[in-house]
Structure 1
């Protein structure tokens, strides 16, 4: 595919889409019903459908019986970790293998024209972003993902949370499933903005931001505090009357879904004429500029409401630069007063 039909490439080899990021059409005024109806399939397919499918597979084939879940034990906890780790290895690893190791589409549609493997740095373990990110994912974040999973399954099994059966409460549970991505977006924005507070950024979130040029293994490369807070989004289903299947779905939106913002490519070419949209650009801009797009794609446009939204346009860049300038002026004035 010719990526220059969809965007532009600068002198450094970095690619950017021609189209600016847009909020979901139901936020536009006046609301266009045809645009909303056209957006619904994009919302459901393929990513949210994939995460729901994996949640169903976990519920029916991986999660132990309720009688087992009532008692905490290393046996079933380690089983869940093994399955989670294996699934991430296959899922993330497939993207890494084809698009970063074999480089099957070169730098077509790649936001940053360089590959992390070609840029050793002292900020990473063994001077390798790939090794560093891989180890942090499998020995920090995925164990914390599993800890959250164990805790909410244990809580549901012991009736410490309201477990609604699908037979009687399916309308509410369907609605809750449909808004689970919105729950993820609000939770992610809140904890993400929190760990950008200077002291927390220095000691916690900077670990993730070492990957300025993110790749699939960067997705779950986090400090333990961030790793726990990020996956703790599933605990909302202990507060809301829900079902453990939806808690697993919520967890998979976070765990498997983290790769979306870190793929590094706008489109993944599947065949000569077909490509899969990654929806990675909003979060790539966050990794590039650090203080924009704390949430996701704007399903709940908190970034827009709080003035952090960057849609990839020159106008957004100008607004960002003006905000950075005011921030610098405030810091300088504070330093002069001291």
Structure 2
């Protein structure tokens, strides 16, 4: 995709918008178009994608830093601390690296940046008085702790026979398929827990912390209340039912944590030689942070389209969302 700023934005107030209307996954478009589905899968994974990179990270961490199931059979501080430290480093490298590149170095300027306004340096609404400090604190202190807790629970349960373990030798097709299905499960799961978090009592006490970020950066993705971290990362508990390998557990949670950083990067992608070489932030979710009552889920499993909360980036959809928000606020 060649970067261009010649086309007028679909909505006022944005520095950059992608082509609209935004489209949901062709898996949920009728009539089904097999070639479009294959193209969507290819574009989502190859040649270079955040999903494929995270698969690589999962295998690298599994090979070089993951304690064996023999070790995780017993809850001991040493291996738990090893996992916690690994996760601190992973999130800091990904979220911190993106923040430094895009916001400290300003290496890409405003190319493919959705909202050109600067991140908030100060603000009384933030726990530590500023957006970035607030985001880093909640991402590391709460986010990494809950992430580590779920990994410890899953590896301990697998080692003791309480969660089913699957190996490549047992089912190579299912072994590969799980990597493809995790993003679909994330989209399905995320919509429902996200809608629940917008229920006024939960929003006020829990989810409003995340929505302090109207204009988002890489550290914003995992800046949540501890209760929201517990709910959000709890997606991995499905593997008490669905057999998986420890590398799938690593991928499942790394996908949740690391793509939260990339999708909140504030930029559609990484530009190299005037081309978008790596897709990152999604305008679909960026609109949710500005408009609140739309786009609760993802494009892979389009529950928003089913329940009338889908904002496709057009002016017509914006007017519908304004009316919808008035009704919600009025009630």
TM-score by length of 1: 0.91
**CA 1:279 to 1:22, structure 2 compared with 1: closer, same or farther past 3 Å?**
farther
**CA 1:194 to 1:288, structure 2 compared with 1: closer, same or farther past 3 Å?**
same
CA distance in 2 between partners of 1:279 and 1:147 (Å)? 27
**1:95 counterpart residue number:** 98
CA distance in 1 between partners of 2:278 and 2:174 (Å)? 31
**2:174 counterpart residue number:** 172
- Give yes or no for contact 1:235–1:247 (8 Å, CA) kept in 2: no
SS at match of 1:268: strand
**2:162 counterpart residue number:** 160
Structure 1 or 2: more helix by fraction: 1
Alignment of 1:265-304 (within 5 A): 265-296=267-298, 298-304=299-305
**CA 1:87 to 1:69, structure 2 compared with 1: closer, same or farther past 3 Å?**
same
**CA 1:43 to 1:130, structure 2 compared with 1: closer, same or farther past 3 Å?**
same
Give CA-to-partner distance per residue, 1:54-83, whole Å, 9 cap, x none. Answer: 111122111112221000111111111111
For the pair 1:320 / 2:321, whether they are aligned, the reply is yes
Alignment of 1:182-331 (within 5 A): 182-296=184-298, 298-329=299-330, 331=331
- Give yes or no for contact 1:162–1:238 (8 Å, CA) kept in 2: yes
Name structure 2 gaps, 5 residues minimum.
none
**2:38 counterpart residue number:** 37
- Give yes or no for contact 2:163–2:243 (8 Å, CA) kept in 1: yes
CA distance in 2 between partners of 1:245 and 1:78 (Å)? 19
Residue 32 of structure 1: how far off its partner (Å)? 2.1
- Give yes or no for contact 1:162–1:242 (8 Å, CA) kept in 2: yes
- Give yes or no for contact 1:21–1:282 (8 Å, CA) kept in 2: yes
**CA 1:9 to 1:94, structure 2 compared with 1: closer, same or farther past 3 Å?**
farther
TM-score by length of 2: 0.93
**2:5 counterpart residue number:** 4
Residue 19 of structure 1: how far off its partner (Å)? 2.8
SS at match of 1:221: coil
CA distance in 1 between partners of 2:287 and 2:140 (Å)? 26
**CA 1:68 to 1:83, structure 2 compared with 1: closer, same or farther past 3 Å?**
same
**1:335 counterpart residue number:** none
Residue 274 of structure 1: how far off its partner (Å)? 4.6
Greater length-normalized contact order (CA 8 Å, ≥ 6 residues apart): 2
Give CA-to-partner distance per residue, 1:185-213, whole Å, 9 cap, x none. Answer: 11211211111110000010000000111
